[in-house]
Amino acid sequence: MISTKLSIIIPVLNEAANLPNLIYQLQQQVDCNLEIIIADGGSQDQTQAVVKKLGAVFVISKPGRGVQMNSGARVAKAPMLLFLHADSTLTDTTLLSNAIASLARTRQTLGHDRIAGHFKLKFVEQPANRELVFKFYEAKTALNRPQCTNGDQGFLLYREFFWQLGGYSEKLPFLEDQILASQIYDKGLWITLPGSLTTSARRFKQEGLGRRMILNAIIMAFHYIAHDQFFNRAPEVYRGQDSSKPLQITPFFRLIRTLNRESGWRVALHRWLAVGGFVRRAAWQLFFIFDIIIARFFASKKKPFLAFHDRVFLPLTNFFLFDLLTAILTWIWFTLTGYYFVIYESTIKRMG
């Protein structure tokens, strides 16, 4: 095995309860020399005391996951960086040494260090009766396709490449992982590392699986079309939400309608057409769901429906008319879904 120093950066905010288990698991890793850096964004619990007791490096940072991870990376001493979330769980004591070796082999083959690796995910604490949904999410994390890689999977890359990319974006309190992942797709190569991480599905349980899926789809679509106005004003909506209660989706629909009114119908039409293009390109996920179903019943690792999408469906639909059709269908879905949540959330509020 390769024995290489690795700096692990973990952004935290009031994670005193989760950190001991993760730090202990990291310290049990074999054949790798680790530096554990906790980048704190203003915790009010016992996070700092826990970190110091367990012997990790504690870095005080301004709040914001991107800002915190950059702060941790600046003090990192190792040639490789691994960014993890505090609720991640390692599944094997050789997980990191195998990951380091995989990244190093790829670097040697390619002759450059413009590569990054991510782990597959396994969700724990799943909401009841949602097995197929989480099987789909887990299977997506093994792919190296755009919009499939996020911070829950862990980002492993060489420090020089990380800073060549400019580090994590600090513009927003969210989306920093998707922005960096897109930059790596554009300027380097993603690989799936051996082994897997487990992560908690507690956010889905707290917020509501359907609501979180809808909001994630909106965020990814607007990121794809570079709808900066939405991201500049969405934090105002987030600040008004209680993270311990179901996610209120209506304010996001209201914000989108407001932005379209302010921009005028021509700009709004252009946005809907762009979103239609994104949705059409994201249709591969519908085909992939059938592959997941086949795998459950036949234990098959093949992906015939995804292959059909890439080789047949995508080329046949890759023109303006289908973007327009998809935009119309998406607008209808948006309108009906928005009205549904207005009625549903107002009813819950009255009852509560």
Residue 332 tokens, joined? 């209808």
Residue 12 and residue 148 in one domain: yes
Q: Are 175 and 65 in contact (CB under 8 A)?
A: no
Cα 139 to its chain centre, rounded Å, is 14
Q: List Cβ neighbours of 58 (8 Å cut-off, separation of 6 or more).
A: 38, 40, 48, 51, 52
Residue 110 maps to which CATH number?
3.90.550.10
CA triple 278-283-287, angle to 5 deg? 165
Residue 184 and residue 306 in one domain: no
Between 247 and 311, the higher pLDDT residue:
311
Looking at residue 243, its pLDDT comes to: 64
Q: How many domains does the chain have?
A: 2
Confidence of residue 1 (pLDDT cuts 50, 70, 90): very low
Q: Of 200, 217, 247, which marks where a domain is finished? A: 200
Q: For residue 111, what are the domain limits?
A: 5-200
- Res 279 pLDDT > 60: yes
Radius of gyration of the chain (CA): 21
Residue 12 has phi, psi (to 5 degrees) of: -140, 160
- Res 2 pLDDT > 70: no
> Quick one: DSSP state of residue 78?
S
Instruction: Choose among 209, 251, 235, 236: nearest CA to 345.
Output: 251
Residue 17 and residue 79 in one domain: yes
Q: Are 189 and 106 in contact (CB under 8 A)?
A: yes
pLDDT in tens, 187-239: 999 999 999 999 888 778 888 888 989 999 999 999 999 999 999 888 878 77
pLDDT in tens, 114-147: 999 999 999 988 877 888 899 999 999 999 998 8
Instruction: Choose among 135, 131, 116, 121: nearest CA to 182.
Output: 116
- Res 277 pLDDT > 70: yes
Residues paired with 321 in a beta bridge: none
